[in-house]
Amino acid sequence: MKKWWLQTKENMESIHTQVSINSDKGDETFEIEFSKDSCVSDVKNVIGIKQPHLSYPLRVIFSGIELEDSIELKELELSESSVLHVLQRGPSKPSDIHQFQGNRQTGAVGLNIIALKERPRYYVHCKICDSVQPGKLRVRCFKCKKGTFLLSREPNAWEDVLVTGRLEGTCQTKDCDNTRTEFYFKCANHATPSEENVVVLNCIKTNIDETQCITCAEISNPILVFQCDKSHVMCLDCFKTYAVTSLDERSFIHSQNIGYTLQCPAGCEGSVIIDVHHFRILGDEQYEKYKRFGAEEYVMKANGLLSPTPGCGAGLLPEEGISDIICSKVAGGCGLRFCKNCLQSSHEGECDSSLQSDRLKSSHYPKRPISQEDRATVDMLNREQTENLTKHCPNNKCKVLIHKLDGCMHMICSRCKLDWCWVCEKPWDIYCQSDHWFG
C-alpha cells in the first residue's frame, strides 16, 4: 500500500488513515498521514497532485455522508482502519443527501460526531479484545459492499441501523444500481476491519449525566441502561454480578420472542433485555452456561426432557403418548434409548416403582449430568452424607441433582421451580407443612 503525507507543522500530532479512490481505472487504496488541523480540501489537493489523471471536482464520502471541503478531519475521529472514499466528477446518480458541514451545521449531525463535553459512543463486545469496547458505526452498499454509498437520510433510531434495508440511498460505484443500505459496527481498537468479531450492545451507553448505579450507587462509565420507563442504570460490574447470581438461582425470565433474559432488578415492566448478546460480557464460561441453561429452560417449557446420559444434556421433545425415547446420534445426541417416565433403560410394561422410590441407592438409576459446582460439593462429602443430603427433583421431566445442607423440608427446584417436600419427595402440600415442615 502506498503512503502519502499531508504537509504538517513541526512537532504537530498527526493521524493515519486510508483513502480509497474510485475511478475509471478501478479502485486504489492509499495510506495517508495528516495533521489534526487538516481539512477535507487538503485531502483533495494531495490526491490531485499525486493522481493528476483524476478529473475534478473530487468528492469525499465517509460513513454514508458526503463531506464539505471545510470539514476538519479531527471531527471525524478517524483511525488507521478508517477509509475515506474519494470519487471523481460530480454526482452521477441522483441523491437527496445534504453535505455534512461539521459542527457548524445546526441540523442533523454526521455519524459519530456530536459536540458534547462527554462524547456518547456506541459500544460493542469484541471477541478479539474479549471485553466491552467503544465501537464505530459504518455504512456500505448492501450489494457491492463498498463504502461509496450515500444515504438518503441519516439514521435516527436503532431500528434504522439494525434492520437491513430500512434506510435507502444511492451507491456511487460505477455499474452498481443498488439502493439498499447496510450498517455494520467495528471495534475502535483494531487497525483492520473486524465486524465479524463484534456484536453491538445497544443497552451499553456513555454515562453523560453521571447517573448512579441502581445497585452500588457508584458513578461509572460505560453503563447498562434498562429499557424501562425510569431507565434504571447499572454499572457493568454490578450487571455481571446480577446476571451470574441470576444464572445460579435459575431466576432468568424465559420470553417466547426473546429467549432466556433478565429484567430490570427493580422489577419494572417492559424492562427485559431484548438483545441477548449483552450476556457475552459475562465471559466465555458464564456465557456458555447461559446458553445451556437457556436451552434447558426452552425444553422444560415445551414439556420436553433432557437426556439422562452424563455429559450429553441433549434436549428432547417427544411426541405425546410416547414413552420409549431415543436420544438420536444423528441430531448430536448420545444414542441412549430410555423410558420417558422413569428415565431408566427402555422396558416393556409398568415402570419399576422401587427404582423411583430409592433413586440414589439404586445402581440402575441413570446418572444425571451435574455442573462442576455440584460435582465439587458432592466430592467434599463422604458417601453416607451424600445419600442423606443429596436427592433428585421429583419432577420426572427435571430430576436435577439437589444438595441440601440445612433449612426446612420445603424445597424449590432451581430448574423447574417445583415446590416439593424433601421427606416425601413429592409436591409440597398442607400435610407436609403441618406434619414435618422442619423435619
Active-site residue set: 408
User: Are the CB atoms for 43 and 60 separated by under 8 Å?
Assistant: yes
Q: What angle do CA 357, 358, 359 make, to 5 degrees?
A: 100
- Amino acid found at 255: S
Task: Give the separation between CA 125 and CA 198, rounded to whole angstroms.
Answer: 6
| Residue 225 DSSP symbol | E
Task: Give the separation between CA 142 and CA 183, rounded to whole angstroms.
Answer: 9
- Amino acid found at 61: I
User: Are the CB atoms for 21 and 28 separated by under 8 Å?
Assistant: yes
Task: Give the separation between CA 144 and CA 173, rounded to whole angstroms.
Answer: 8
Please identify which residue in the block is written with the cell numbers 441413570.
366
Task: Give the separation between CA 288 and CA 264, rounded to whole angstroms.
Answer: 22
Task: Give the separation between CA 114 and CA 74, rounded to whole angstroms.
Answer: 12
The widest CA-to-CA distance across the chain, in whole angstroms, is 96
3-state secondary structure of 276: helix
Strand order in the sheet with 181-187: 181-187, 131-141, 122-126, 198-200
Please identify which residue in the block is written with the cell numbers 432488578.
265
Distance of CA 154 to the CA centre of its chain: 25
Task: Give the separation between CA 98 and CA 115, rounded to whole angstroms.
Answer: 19
Strands (E), 193-307: 198-200, 204-205, 223-225, 233-235, 253-255, 259-261, 305-306
**Beta strands at 83-88 and 14-23: parallel, antiparallel or unpaired:** parallel
Task: Give the separation between CA 220 and CA 237, rounded to whole angstroms.
Answer: 10
If one counts every other C-beta atom within 10 angstroms of the C-beta of residue 308, the result is 23
Task: Give the separation between CA 38 and CA 9, rounded to whole angstroms.
Answer: 11
In angstroms, how far is the first alpha carbon of the chain from the final one? 78
User: Are the CB atoms for 403 and 377 separated by under 8 Å?
Assistant: yes
